[in-house]
């Protein structure tokens, strides 16, 4: 990807996306692993709205990140819970941050 990869913007993938050679290999690998083809990235029967290629940054920083200590879970006795808070730029997905925390 080159030294400027942290500033790279990638489109949300659609069947019409033209793959940039810098990252086409990664898209093709993930699609193959998921047994998908780019040409089939459609929702059958749905013609509108069209979900286009809204560019998203490859890397975003979670601002104001905080995590509590482990506490007993009030909802599930015998289990523990931690609370996290952070801010992301518009268009970023909190689920990606939470998934990374769980790994």
Q: What is the pLDDT of residues 35-83, one digit of tens each?
A: 999 888 877 777 766 666 678 888 899 999 999 999 999 999 999 999 9
Structure confidence at residue 48 (pLDDT): 66
pTM above 0.85, yes or no: no
Q: What Å distances lie between residue 19 and 65, 71, 85, CA to CA?
A: 34, 46, 35
Residue 93 has pLDDT above 80, yes or no: yes
Structure confidence at residue 9 (pLDDT): 84
Tokens at 90, concatenated: 């518009």
**Dihedral, 8, 98, 103, 58 alpha carbons, nearest 10:** 0
Domain ranges across the chain: 1-59, 60-103
């Amino acid at each position: 990807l080159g030294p400027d990869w942290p500033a790279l913007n990638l489109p949300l993938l659609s069947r019409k996306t033209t793959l940039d050679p810098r990252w086409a290999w990664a898209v093709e690998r993930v699609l193959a692993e998921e047994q998908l083809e780019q040409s089939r990235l459609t929702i059958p029967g749905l013609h509108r709205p069209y979900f286009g290629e809204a560019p998203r940054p490859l890397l975003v920083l979670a601002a104001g990140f905080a995590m509590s200590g482990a506490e007993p879970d009030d909802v599930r006795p015998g289990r523990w819970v931690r609370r996290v808070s952070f801010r992301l730029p518009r268009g970023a997905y909190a689920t990606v941050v939470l998934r990374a925390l769980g790994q």
